[in-house]
Structure 1
Amino acid sequence: MNRLCPITIDVSGAEMHAEAARIREQAPATPVLLPGGVTCWAVNRHADIRRLLVDPRVSKDAYRHWPAWISGEVGAEWPLAIWVSVQNMITAYGAEHTRLRKPVAAAFTSRRVAGMKPRIEEVVDGLLDRLAALPPGRAVDLRTEFAHELPTRIVFELFGIPQHLWAPLHKIIKGFFDTTITAEDAQRNVVDLDATMADLVAHRRKHPGEDITSELIAARDGDGERGRLGEKELVDNLILLFTAGYETSVNLISTALHELLRNPDQLKLVREGRASWEDVVEEALRVESPASYGLLRFAVEDIDMGEGVVIPQGDPIMVSFASAGRDPAVHGADAERFDVTRETRGQHLSFGFGTHYCLGATLARLECAIAVRRLFERFPDAALVDPQAGELPRVESFISNGLRELPVVLGAEAGLA
């Protein structure tokens, strides 16, 4: 690969930012080795990623543009096969992407998201009530008890997922993003996902409601509309929407809370009105993108990246949203530092760019801003259990980027001290 030696990606993501920086500094595109022996190109610089995300010579459709997938050289046994085997609006190319995105965008309107604000506030306040009932001084894991619970209830309600499927879906989503699991476990997870999705679609066909799943089923089953979904497209779009909507929101809320807890000077800026809660959300998105790498894209034709590097036609590509957020060429020499007043805080690619820009971005931002603001209003003295402990353990993944836990002592409620 253009005389560059492949770098073996750490599947645990333990040193994600250091690894991403090494790749970013080496070349505009660097060959990397993924689990299962698949080699692809990692693109880690902000400008290069932004350009590729709107380049018509780049596709996400493995069935059309990845020769190794088409020939069966890479197949369903590959540990990361779920990321390319699905056929939804994210993996579609050209006119197919437009066709698949249209019914989803129609169901996921900005008006619908704006109308969810009172429900988000209600859920947040209920979760805080539950935390307030815990014994004083007890440590609580805010990822599990708060950041996880909010998107679960909002996203699962939004998609009309019955409660008997909540636990199975949580287990499946965890396996979906865990890049350290075996190929056997990954394949078993796909089987469980198919069965759970069949259960969900059958339930909503029998009991339709005012939810996105029911609306997409109507688009699938409707008469005569050119843009309507096939059955696999319906299921795969649902997989995309609620897995991404859940996992990224949990990571974002956890990150925003963690950064404010370990940077009290930044929290003070917000409390003094010198920065907003929305600024907190954007800076959290920048410094710790909820998704590290985006898998996979494919070169429709040879792509000259500059500096003597050419991505050959048919080669797979992955882009690092986490690396882009810390690119010193955009964010300065202190790009790794959390700063709610940073002028470039909104110049991240954490929700993508161009035609594949995330439809759930507005909802994720709204959830996070409400959750973080209300928690610190309710518990102004909240603190990390061990502020000197250094970095907290992170989820084992080079795709998902989030904390595994967030141990906090909440302290007395405001007005009750």
Structure 2
Amino acid sequence: MERPVLDPNVLDPNVPDPKALDPNALDLNVPDPIVLDPTGRAREAETAELIARGPATPVDLLGVRAWAVSDPLLLEELLKDPRVSKDGLRHWPDYDRAVRTWPLALWVSVRNMFNSHGADHRRLRRLVSSAFTPRQIVAMTARVEELTDALLDDLAGGAPGQVVDLRERFAYPLPIQVISQLLGVPREVTAGFRDMVDKVFATTLTPEESAANGAAFQALLEELIAAKRREPGEDMTSLLIAARDTESGAGPAALSEEELRDTLLLIVSAGYETTVNLIDNGITDLLTHPDQLALVRAGRAGWDDVVEEALRRDAPLAHLPMRFAVQDIELPGGVTVRRGDPILGAYQAAGRHPARYGDSGAGFDVTRPAKDHLAFGHGPHFCLGAPLARLEGRTALSRLFARFPDLAFAPGTQLEPVDSLISNGHRTLPVLLGPPAP
């Protein structure tokens, strides 16, 4: 595809302002869109249909039409294409209506690096990136191991033969403790995060319920910021506050109060939910594929292989809203994504797509040579927290299966997805631990 030269920070003056366009005129009506199930219960069928329909196909996302891109080669290209923006305020004609009536309004209205483009994105990412350098991750390794072992000790102290929900007792508390320590969040504040984060990712709420949750979440973060201003510490929240307070008014380097709050919202939400699902899916994949667990125990594959294969096969976020075409983009097969059209990354489908993984894409194979999945995104918005998530996943899975070698699903277990078309995990993960290793 030949790409015209474009400054991604400036709208093309030869094209009308997208806010003046008629959103009903967007060319997303043929073929009939796939209506994504907000409960997540149709995910397997939706994944197969997205792949079957071609590289990009229209979907209905809680009443919003978007182009779902499932082909990993095309998705990679779009994720790094300057003609594709994450800033709905600037580049989505239907933004004003959506923030009033769409249940996922928070996903496009918060002001942080997730929803920024061009120079704004680079500025906001720079302020956060220092917390996720390789050196910082190495420094956190011992603490992640300590927290993991404490959770496993607690599990080992339970009654023999008792059914244990590993999502509740293990996959959830490890990431939330890690991210809370990174941000310097007091324990009493951490307790309030869980329900709020769950509701950010839930897609069965009404617009009113979603808006109320977003407002409560932002209010809680404002209280945290005020507390950290009074008593700063050696944590990321204090560092961001210092950047805000010292750079405020310094031109393009300034961090607004809204950006400060919403950056914390992003770090808490992304740092918790995605890693919970990584651990959840890694456990599930190994328990449902005991031959693959045997390969790891025999030394024919490593725990890094397990983490990467779980990320590929079961992306922690099945779909990730939302990107927008800055100008018309011609796609393979004669499809034109019009300026202002929303674009949805279909990461679950991309991770299983035969274009990259052949006919075995839906399988779980820890010896698979290809590790080039898109679970953490690609291009300028590649997830800064990927090294930390990988550390937590590797530590959690390796130590869990070493501590409980007879770990198995509880009899009669039927896993149910969380109520989300975004988050890709399970409501519960009921297991029998078996006797702990000496």
TM-score tier (shorter): over 0.9
Correspondence for 1:275 among 301, 308, 312: 301
* Cα separation, 2, equivalents of 1:373 and 1:28: 36
2:99–2:106 Cα contact (<8 Å) kept: no
Contact 1:108 / 1:212 at 8 angstroms: preserved in 2? no
For the pair 1:361 / 2:361, whether they are aligned, the reply is no
Show the counterpart of 2:9: none
| Aligned counterpart, 1:412 | 435
Q: How big is the shift at 1:107?
A: 3.1
Mapping 1:136-147, distance limit 5 Å: 136-147=160-171
1:308 is matched with 334
The equivalent residue for 1:111 is 135
Write the distance in 2 (CA, Å) between the matches of 1:28 and 1:271.
38
Match of 2:33 in 1: 6
Q: What CA deviation, in whole Å up to 9, does each residue of 1:349-369 have, x standing for no partner?
A: 000011111010000000111
**Alignment match, 1:258:** 284
1:29 equivalent in alignment to 2:56? yes
1:213-261 Cα offsets, whole Å, 9 max, x none, are 1111111111447423111111111111110010000000011111111
User: AA paired with 1:186?
Assistant: S
Which is further off, 293-302 or 38-47?
Answer: 38-47
The Cα of 1:9 is off from its aligned counterpart by: 1.3
2:321 aligns to what SS in structure 1? strand
In the alignment, residue 340 of structure 2 is paired with which amino acid? G
Q: Does 1:236 align with 2:262?
A: yes
TM (normalized to structure 1)? 0.95
What amino acid is aligned across from residue 89 of structure 2 in structure 1? Y
Instruction: Give a deviation string over 1:257-282, Cα, whole Å, max 9, x none.
Output: 11111211111111111000110000
User: Cα offset for 1:27?
Assistant: 2.9
Equivalent position amino acid for 2:150 in 1: G
Q: Which one is further off, 143-152 or 14-23?
A: 14-23
Cα distance in structure 1, aligned partners of 2:98 and 2:252:
32
Regions of 4+ moved over 3 Å: 223-226
Aligned to 1:347: 372
Aligned residue in 2 for 1:154: 178
Work out the CA distance in 2 between the residues paired with 1:107 and 1:148: 22
1:73 CA displacement: 2.9
Q: CA deviation digits over 1:184-217, x for unaligned, max 9? A: 1111101211211111111111111111111111
Task: Percent identity, please.
Answer: 48
| 2:132 and 2:388 in contact (8 A); partners too | no
Q: Which residue number in structure 2 is paired with residue 297 of structure 1?
A: 323
1:187 counterpart = 2:214: no
Q: Deviations over 1:106-128 (max 9, x none)?
A: 23322111101111111111111
Alignment of 1:165-184 (within 5 A): 165-184=189-208
Looking at structure 2, the residues matched to 374 and 190 of structure 1 have their Cα atoms a distance apart, in angstroms, of 35
Structure 2 matches for 1:38-53, cutoff 5 A?
38-53=64-79
The amino acid across from 1:137 in the alignment is G
The question of whether the paired residues in 2 share the 8 Å contact of 1:293 and 1:318 is answered with yes
Q: Deviations over 1:73-112 (max 9, x none)?
A: 3233321100000111121111111111111112332211
Secondary structure, counterpart of 1:400 in structure 2: coil
- What is the rounded CA distance, in whole Å, between the counterparts of 1:371 and 1:27 in structure 2? 37
SS of the residue 1:115 aligns to: helix
Unaligned segments of structure 2, at least 5 residues: 1-26
Supply the AA of the counterpart residue of 2:359: A
Contact 1:103/1:228 (8 A) holds in 2:
no
* In structure 1, distance between residues paired with 2:73 and 2:282: 25
Identify unmatched segments of 5+ residues in structure 1: none
Match of 1:203?
Answer: 227
TM-score (norm 2): 0.91
| Matched residue type, 2:199 | G
User: What is the DSSP-based 3-state SS (H/G/I as helix, E as strand, rest coil) of the residue aligned with 1:380?
Assistant: coil
Match of 1:120?
Answer: 144
- CA RMSD for the aligned pairs? 1.3
Amino acid at match of 1:199: E
Between the aligned partners of 1:83 and 1:333, the Cα distance in structure 2 is: 34
**Contact 1:303 1:312 survives alignment (8 Å):** yes
2:240 matches 1:216: yes
Residue equivalent to 1:285: 311
Q: What residue identity is the alignment partner of 1:401?
A: N
Contact 1:24 1:43 in 2 (8 A): no
Distance 1:136 1:270 in 2: 26
Aligned residue type for 1:104: V
Counterpart CA distance in 1 for 2:131 and 2:252 is: 17
Equivalent-residue separation in structure 2 for 1:181 and 1:226 (angstroms):
37
Secondary structure class of the residue paired with 1:307: helix
- Equivalent in the alignment of 1:135: 159
Deviations 1:291-328 (A, max 9, x none): 11110100000011121210110111111111111001
Distance 1:316 1:226 in 2: 28
CA distance in 2, matches of 1:220, 1:64: 24
